[in-house]
Amino acid sequence: MENRRRDVAVNAVGHAAKAGKTPAFERQRQRFFWLLLAPVLAILAVVTLLPTLYLLVTSFTPLNLANPATAWDFSDPLVNYRTLLTDDRLHNSFWVQAKLSVVTVVLQLLFGLVVALLLNMRTPLMNALRTSFLVPMVLPPIVVAIIWKVLYSPDISPAWWLFQLLGWNVQTPITDASWALTAIIVADTWEWFPFTMIIILAALAMMPEEQREAAEVDGASIWQLTWYITLPYLKGTLLVAGLFRLIDSIKTFPLIYILTDGGPGSVTEVSNYYIFVQSFSFSYIGYSAAVTMVLLAMIVVLSWVIIRAVSGGSNAQE
């Protein structure tokens, strides 16, 4: 890929020299590019940056839709950010978020890795079945949530038929305070392990053969090969896939909305969901905006880490 790009660049330079490319033409070209770029940048700014700025401004007001006078009230700009420090329900939501994110990311990396390592044996049967593992990830998130609602509903779930046959009396986990979060974690892991799997598979396909072959000749077992050669090779890939899932886990919404509605109590109320409740159920827009800004700050930091991780990785390859 890199090589090809370099060839292309060299070619282009050659052509330009032959064409006797003048500085005037070069200037015209740059102007043309800016002309093409300007509309995108302008519209991107209007649809994304402007709303974010508006969100920031709103976070300095006590805006409550029930009381229109609060809209441009900047008398105490930091009131929301002070409230935020003492809001136990918010702190709980961060804690729930941390549990959900860490456990799902670890499980997804683990399952994704195991399935990818298996599929990497690339027998004809595996190549045929490969696509079926992608299904959970490509389903619309809302459908995934409904599917799991079905599975967790005792009167229609096939799992509960089985429990009944075995004579077990099992409560549905989604209304049980000690199991509700686990129920979400199971569903989320099912939905997203294909993502880590497919990224790991892609990395495995590009893995150089020499090291493995040398170790095989030396009589290394499959486990030793995996542990000492494959896993170290995958380190960067696992990091990037994990970071992506980590950030996306902050957005988890349909699963919680459909399965538990943040409950019972607030045991499955993640920060994103708490914001949704505060803003769209209670109309405390100003306060929600402040919490969202905190969440956004965290996401920007994590995104920056990803970019560093990715470009660090590709630099090492060059």
Partner 1 sequence: MPRSKLDAAARRNRILANTIVIALAIITLLPFLWFVVMSFKPADDIFAGIDGFFFTPTLENYTSLWNDRFAGSMLNSFITSSVSTILALVIGTPGAYALSRATMKQERTFSLLILASRMAPPVAFAIPYFLVYRYMGLLDTRTGLILVYLTFNLALVVWLMRNFFDATPRALEEAAWIDGASLWKTFMVIVLPMSGPALVTTAILCFLYSWNDFFFALTLTRNNAMTAPVEVVNFMNYEGWEWGKIAAGGTLIMVPVLAFSLLMRKYLVAGMTAGAVKG
Asked whether 269 and 88 are in contact (CB, 8 A), the reply is no
Q: What angle do CA 242, 305, 203 make, to 5 degrees?
A: 45
CB of 148 to partner 1, least distance (A): 7
Pick 78 or 307: Cβ nearer partner 1: 307
CB of 105 to partner 1, least distance (A): 15
Residue 230 CA from chain centroid, whole number: 25
- Binding piece for partner 1, criterion CB under 8 A, among 80-88, 92-100, 123-131, 174-182: 123-131
44-63 positions binding partner 1, by CB under 8 A: 44, 47-48, 50-52, 54-55, 58
CA distance 318 to 228: 23
| Least Cβ distance, residue 264 to partner 1 (angstroms) | 18
Restricted to residues 188-207, the positions that interact with partner 1 (CB under 8 A) are: 190, 195, 198-199, 202
Per CB under 8 A, contacts with partner 1 among 253-272 are 253-254, 257-258, 272
Residue of 16, 78, 110, 214 that binds partner 1 (CB under 8 A)? 16
Integer-rounded Cα Rg, in Å, for the chain is: 26
Binds partner 1 (CB under 8 A): choice among 6, 41, 205, 227: 41
Count of residues interacting with partner 1 (CB under 8 A): 102
Residue placing its CB nearer to partner 1 in the complex, 99 or 130: 130
Report in angstroms how near the CB of residue 88 gets to partner 1 at its nearest. Answer: 21
Q: Which of residues 62-101 bind partner 1 (CB under 8 A)?
A: none
Residues numbered 157-176 forming contacts with partner 1, rule: CB under 8 A: 158, 161, 164-165
Q: Which residues inside 226-255 make contact with partner 1, applying CB under 8 A? A: 240, 244, 247-248, 250-251, 253-254
112-116 LR contacts (CB < 8 Å, sep 24+): 112/193, 112/194, 112/195, 112/196, 112/197, 112/199, 112/200, 112/241, 113/196, 113/197, 113/200, 113/234, 113/238, 115/193, 115/197, 116/196, 116/197, 116/198, 116/200, 116/201, 116/204
CA distance 256 to 269: 8
Min dist. Cβ of residue 219 to partner 1 (A): 9
The number of beta carbons lying within 10 Å of the beta carbon of residue 8 is 10
Under 8 Å between Cβ of 79 and 256: no
Question: 124 vs 9, 27, 121, 179, CA distance in Å?
Answer: 40, 55, 9, 40
Q: Which is nearer to partner 1, 8 or 231 (CB)?
A: 8
Closest to partner 1 by CB, 118 vs 231, is 118
CA angle 223, 129, 111 (to 5 degrees): 45
Residue listed under structure tokens 């939905």: 191
Among 151, 183, 184, 259, binds partner 1 (CB under 8 A): 151
Reading the block at residue 25, the tokens are 């033409």
Taking alpha carbons only, the member of 265, 275, 315 closest to residue 298 is: 275
Give the single-character DSSP code of 318.
-
Question: Which one, 102 or 129, has the nearer CB to partner 1?
Answer: 129
Q: How far is the CB of 51 from partner 1 (least distance, A)?
A: 4
Shortest gap between Cβ of 138 and partner 1 (angstroms)? 4
Stretch of residues binding partner 1 (CB under 8 A), selected from 36-44, 83-91, 94-102, 260-268: 36-44
Q: DSSP per residue over 164-186, as a string?
A: HHTT-----GGG-TTTHHHHHHH
- Of the candidate residues 106, 228, 235, 303, the single one contacting partner 1 (CB under 8 A): 303
